[in-house]
Chain A
Amino acid sequence: MAKLMPKRQLENVGLGITGLCVALVALVVVTLIVMVAQQGLTTFFVDGVNPVEFLTGQNWIPEQERYGALPMIVGSFAVTLLSTVFALPVAVGSAIFVVEVAPGFGRRVFQPFIELLVGIPSVVYGVLGLYVINSLMRAAFGDPAGTGAGILSGSIVLAVMILPTITTLSMDALRAVPNQYREGSYALGCTRWQTVWHVVLKSALPSLMTAVILGMTRAFGETLAVQMVIGGVERSMPSGLLDPASTLTAALTAGLSNATSGSVYYHALWSLGLILLVMSLVFILIIHLIGKKGAKANG
């Protein structure tokens, strides 16, 4: 029989191996942040693009060396907010139904169903958007819709994509509300709807907000589905919901293959990436703040 390693040593080996894995992940993340920041800031510090003009400029025309990211920033926020507005009532509504009204049905039927939506790849959503939603837009709005590509169709596709995220997280949030709260409310003679509205939703509010923010994070970072549907116009500001537009992610996808590395255009694209990175850090921060506040409110 092989001699066994002394236990303390074995414990240190375990600690070492697993610690190494974590360190590797952390290192990659740090490298990513440093690299994106370095490349993205080159635009401003080396290529001499004014950062204020970059963020507020309304035209993105690389051939003319005009780098105004506002159209994409507006596009990203517009699709994110719109899709959240579309998805939120449906998501929270279905979460309430499957947790408060029909829990058995929720677990056995609804949850697997909604998880199917998570599984559908984003290019497939893109294909649906490109060939189906855009034609519907044309059919609904006629000429003003142009090809059908635009912020509205992008938002609709995104709404479907973030629906499962918000729904499942809302379901978890509602399930986490202690049953005593409900029983207390029913004991006072409240109806189910009153209980849900005044008691359950109120105490689940921080978690519901986290669910929404996570949904928005997904919408903001979603790439191909939006890029295929939104029309890809970065040159100028969109003037309406039916106008073709672009988002940060879409502009990156479309631009990166054409840009020669080291050029101003290339660096400007990395600056867009930097904005995306900063935004996802902001989203994380918001989630943490909500969590802290919720913890404080619940003692």
Chain B
Amino acid sequence: MASQVHSLDDHVSRINRQDKVATGVLTVIVGLVMLLVVAIIAYILVRGGTRALTPGFLTNPSAAEEAPGIVYQLWDSFYMLIVTLVISVPISLGAAIFLVEYAPDNWVTSAAKTAIETLSSLPSIVVGMFGSLFFVVTLGWGISIIAGACALTMFNIPILVRTIQQALEDVPRSQRDAALAMGLTRWETTINVLLPAAMPAIVTGIVLSAGRVFGEAAALIFTSGSAPARLNFANPFNFVSPTCPFNIFRPACSLAVYIWRLTSEPTDGSVEIVWGTATVLLVCVLLFNLLARLLGKFLSRRLTAE
């Protein structure tokens, strides 16, 4: 009897010790992960910060003799992002609405879902490869912003469809039922009731996806090209000119692609430019993240306060 009590005590103190050790180990892991995140971001900002803040870096073209910069790449990145969003947001909205509201419970729907899932798991280089043949050659667009934007759209659609779908499904069912019970169509219900209620989450999702699109490069190398563009901002409305910043049929080089190109074909001093560009890219992406959070908070506060 006495030995049993003794061994039970032993057991209790053992499992308590085990519990403490496990908690300790987990705490250390979490601490290290957070340290890693801080270290990565801080390192990049410090390493490339000076270059990024050098006068001219953000305003000079990369071919400039003195103080080469990244202004064309910056422009191309944002312009391509906007073209991508213009294409991908409506398609994703439509697809998400179909899947949430209309999708009949049959093989067509499950095939469509599988297609979107497949798209989400495809390596971006495969998307780029497909784009280099389909958009560039088959459709005859050539290496161009529009081909790049279409490749990015393929990359972006699964992400967007999922977030929009989630946002629509998170609107209470009762809202939807109430509108349908007044004899309204699913279309009217979605446009007038569900979308406004889901808007904060949708906007957050779009901005977050924009951050990912902004940093994507593999899908672009063979679709929009990797040669730094030469733009002429003095004559922005000659849409067929290869130097027109708005021409969607001209090649373009985004920040991310520019980094890749400089690392694969290094030249004198390119390391510093790489770090500077990486810093600018990182800051842009972090700003997108921040913007997504702020916009989401602002919109949902406005919705509930109204």
Q: Is this pair of chains taken from one and the same complex?
A: yes
B162 to chain A, nearest CB (A): 12
Please state if B19 and A121 are interface contacts (CB–CB under 8 Å): no
How many interface residues does chain B have, given as a range?
A: 35 or more
The tally of residues in A whose CB lies under 8 Å from a CB in B reads 86
B23 and chain A: residue at smallest CB distance: A101
Is B2 in contact with chain A by the CB < 8 A criterion?
Answer: no
Query: Within the assembled complex, what's the spacing in Å between the Cα atoms of A228 and B256?
Result: 13
With A25-B112, A31-B134, A121-B281 as known contacts, state yes or no: A18 contacts B97, CB within 8 Å. Answer: yes
Contact of A11 among B41, B157, B185, B256 (CB under 8 A): B185
Q: How far is the CA of A191 from the CA of B263 in the complex (A)?
A: 52
Given contacts A98-B30, A120-B285, A228-B263, contact A128 B43 (CB under 8 A): yes
* CB of B274 within 8 Å of the partner chain: yes
A and B contact pairs by CB, cutoff 8 A, 11 listed: A89-B29, A112-B293, A115-B289, A116-B289, A119-B208, A119-B211, A119-B288, A191-B16, A224-B256, A249-B218, A256-B221
B186 CB to nearest A CB, Å: 6
**The residue from B90, B97, B133, B264 contacting A228, defined by CB atoms under 8 A apart:** B264
B132 adjacent to chain A (CB < 8 Å) = yes
B98 touches A194 (CB 8 A): no
Cα of A14 to Cα of B161 in the assembled complex, Å = 17
Contact, CB under 8 Å: A128 / B130: no
Closest to A228 in B: B263
Which residues of chain B have a CB within 8 Å of any CB of chain A? 15-16, 18-19, 22-23, 25-27, 29-30, 32-34, 36-37, 40-41, 43-44, 90-95, 97-99, 101-102, 111-112, 114-119, 121-127, 129-130, 132-134, 137, 154, 157, 161, 183-188, 190, 208, 211-212, 214-218, 221-222, 226, 256-257, 259-260, 263-264, 271, 274-275, 278, 281-282, 285-286, 288-289, 293
For residue A139, CB closer than 8 A to chain B, the reply is no
Cα distance A112–B1 when bound, in Å? 54
Kindly list chain B residues whose C-beta atoms are within 8 Å of the C-beta of A10: 185, 187-188
Q: Cβ of B112: which chain A residues have Cβ within 8 Å of it?
A: 22-23, 25-26
Tell yes or no: A276 within 8 A of B by CB. Answer: yes
A96–B26 CB distance below 8 A: yes
Q: Are A128 and B133 in contact (CB under 8 A)?
A: no
Chain B's nearest CB lies how many Å from the CB of A284? Answer: 6
Which of A191, A217, A257 contacts B222, CB < 8 Å?
A: A257
Residues of A within 8 A of B36 (CB): 160
Number of inter-chain CB pairs below 8 Å? 255
Of residues 124 to 160 in A, which have CB atoms within 8 Å of B's CB atoms?
Answer: 124, 126-128, 130-132, 160
Chain B nearest CB from A171 CB (Å) reads 12
- Set of chain A residues within 8 Å of B102, measured between Cβ atoms: 14-15, 18-19
Given A19-B98, A22-B94: A94 and B26 interface contact (C-beta under 8 Å): yes
Interface residue? A55 (CB, 8 A)? no
Q: Mark A57-96, 1 if CB is under 8 A from B, else 0.
A: 0000000000000000000000000000000011001101
15 extra interface residue pairs, beta carbon distance < 8 Å, beyond A32-B154, A117-B37, A224-B218: A11-B187, A14-B102, A15-B98, A19-B98, A21-B93, A22-B94, A35-B130, A110-B34, A119-B211, A120-B41, A123-B215, A261-B133, A276-B123, A280-B121, A280-B122
Counting CB contacts under 8 A, is A289 at the interface? no
Contact present for A160 and B264 (CB under 8 Å): no
| CB of B49, distance to nearest CB on chain A (Å) | 14
How far apart sit A13 and B218, CA to CA, in the bound complex (Å)? 38
Q: Are A123 and B278 in contact (CB under 8 A)?
A: yes
Q: Which residue of B lies closest to A115 (CB)?
A: B289
A176 interfacial by beta-carbon distance below 8 Å? no
Q: How far is the CB of B250 from chain A (nearest CB, A)?
A: 19
Closest to B34 in A: A113
Q: Within residues 9 to 60 of chain A, which ones have a CB less than 8 A from any CB in chain B?
A: 10-11, 13-15, 17-26, 28-33, 35-36, 39
Partner of A14, one of B44, B117, B154, B185: B185
CA A186 to CA B40, docked complex, whole Å:
39
Inter-chain contact B188/A130, CB cutoff 8 Å? no
Q: Known interface pairs A29-B115, A116-B37, A127-B259. Does A22 touch B125 (Cβ–Cβ under 8 Å)?
A: no
- The answer to whether B43 and A194 touch across the interface, beta carbons within 8 angstroms, is no
| CB of A163 within 8 Å of the partner chain | yes
A252 contacts the other chain (Cβ, under 8 Å)? Answer: yes
Q: Is the CB of A110 within 8 A of B94?
A: no
Residue from the list B19, B40, B129 in contact with A273, Cβ < 8 A: B129
Q: Would A276 and B115 count as touching, CB distance under 8 A?
A: no
Establish whether residues B132 and A256, one from each chain, have CB atoms under 8 Å apart when the complex forms.
Answer: yes
From A11, A119, A126, A221, contact of B186 by CB (8 A): A11
Nearest 9 pairs of A and B residues by beta carbon = A121-B215, A221-B123, A14-B187, A21-B94, A18-B98, A223-B218, A97-B26, A191-B19, A93-B29
Task: Tell whether, in the assembled complex, residue A22 and residue B218 are in contact, meaning their CB atoms are under 8 Å apart.
Answer: no
| A139 → chain B closest CB, angstroms | 16
Q: Which residue of A lies closest to B114 (CB)?
A: A284
The distance in angstroms between the C-alpha atoms of A21 and B222, with both chains bound, is 26
A277 to B92, CA, bound (A): 23
The answer on a CB contact under 8 Å between A160 and B18 is no
A281 CB to nearest chain B CB (Å): 7
Q: Say yes or no: A22-B33 contact (C-beta < 8 A), given A120-B215, A276-B125.
A: no
Residue of A21, A130, A197 with most partner-chain B CB within 10 A: A21
From A131, A223, A277, give the contact of B271 (CB < 8 A). A131
Given known A-B contacts A123-B260, A191-B16, A21 and B271 have beta carbons under 8 A apart = no
